[in-house]
Amino acid sequence: MEKPHIMLVDGMAVLFRSYFATAGVGQFFRTESGLATNGVQGFARHVLTAKSLMKPTHIAVCWDMGAHTFRTDMFDGYKANRPAPPEDMVHQFDQAREVSELLGWKNYGEKGIEADDFIGSFTKKWPDEADYTIITGDKDMLQLLNPSVKIAFMKKGFHIYDLYTETRFGEEYGILPEQFADVKAFMGDPSDGYPGVKGIGPKTALQLIQRYGSVEGVLDHLEELKPAQKKKIEEHQDMLALSKKLAVIKDDLQLDVALEEIAVPDYSAELVRLFDEREFRLLARLLEKSFI
């Protein structure tokens, strides 16, 4: 029997991308009451298009549920430099989850936990029984690659993806996917707000992990490093350890979900009518044209 193919969607990444792609050219697709729907309708279109391209048998959408997470408790600066979402976007967070449910895609999220951690835990839920494709724009997800997991990074438009497999990652990086968090620990992540080791960039960070295998391996061989590198690492050793904790995606959440609960649904003309009533007309036409 063919393995189930589960498409895991980084909901907030898709929603933000959809919002800014259209807001940048003034396309907000407002309702009669003036509410913008560009992010929501773009999110749904993106997932529907990915569904058409990737041919999953099952779909789960994972969400960030607020700015405060267990990583914020570890480090106050975590994602602290990210700007507040535009006013026209705030109401679309709840709308997007509602539309996801209407389309038959189950939502997963919890305050204090990031979407990444739900996605990581899903990939461990049925590790030998299913194949996975992750839809995201977040390079941190590379650490989740394995023979059953692929990552489709969103590129231009709705149809273009940069697909990573474990094999491609190994050819490009020369390390195992799970070692990517060690690379991030050294180089830091400006978008997530943690510095890693100041003065060590992506190239040097990768070289260190290629040679020594892990943060701990580098620390065990400090005497072999160039004096300048050794000094930087020693000066920022506490932040190095913390950065690794921040970079590692959790994969041990207890997910109370049965496989049949996330099966790809069928759509009906009733759903088209419902989206028309809610003034999600672009989405209604897309469903009417392509899925009915």
pLDDT surpassing 60 at residue 292? no
pLDDT band at 229 (very low <50, low <70, confident <90, very high): very high
Task: Identify the CATH number of the domain in which residue 110 sits.
Answer: 3.40.50.1010
Kindly state the average pLDDT of the residues 208-229: 97
pLDDT of residue 1: 67
Question: Residue 292 domain-assigned?
Answer: no
Question: Residue 58 domain-assigned?
Answer: yes
Ranges 23-27, 37-41, 113-117, 140-144: which has the least confidence: 23-27
Q: What is the pLDDT of residues 138-182, one digit of tens each?
A: 999 999 999 999 999 999 888 899 999 999 999 999 999 999 999
Q: Is 241 left (phi over 0), alpha (psi -120 to 50) or beta?
A: alpha
Kindly state the average pLDDT of the residues 198-222: 97
Number of domains in the chain: 2
95 shares a domain with 142: yes
pLDDT of residue 191: 87
Question: Could you tell me what percent of the chain has a pLDDT over 90?
Answer: 87
Angle between helices 38-54 and 87-102 (to 10 degrees): 40
Q: What is the DSSP letter of 138?
A: -
Q: Which two tokens stand for residue 122?
A: 């899903």
pLDDT band at 290 (very low <50, low <70, confident <90, very high): low
Task: Identify the CATH number of the domain in which residue 208 sits.
Answer: 1.10.150.20
Strands 106-108 and 131-136: unpaired
Distance CA 107, CA 87 (A): 23
Decide: 246 and 74 in contact? Cβ < 8 Å. yes
> Edge-to-edge strands of the sheet including 58-62?
106-108, 58-62, 5-10, 131-136, 149-154, 161-164
- The Cα-based distances of 122 to 107, 110, 243, 256, 259 in angstroms read 12, 14, 24, 10, 11
69 shares a domain with 147: yes
Q: What is the pLDDT of residues 63-121, one digit of tens each?
A: 999 888 999 999 888 888 888 999 999 999 999 999 999 999 999 999 999 999 999 99
Q: Which two tokens stand for residue 111?
A: 């305050």
Range of the domain at 10: 5-172+256-286
DSSP secondary structure of 188-209: -BTTTTB--STT--HHHHHHHH
* Nearest alpha-carbon partner for 215 in 186, 173, 255, 195: 186
270 shares a domain with 210: no
136 shares a domain with 12: yes
Phi, psi of 257, deg, nearest 5:
-145, 135
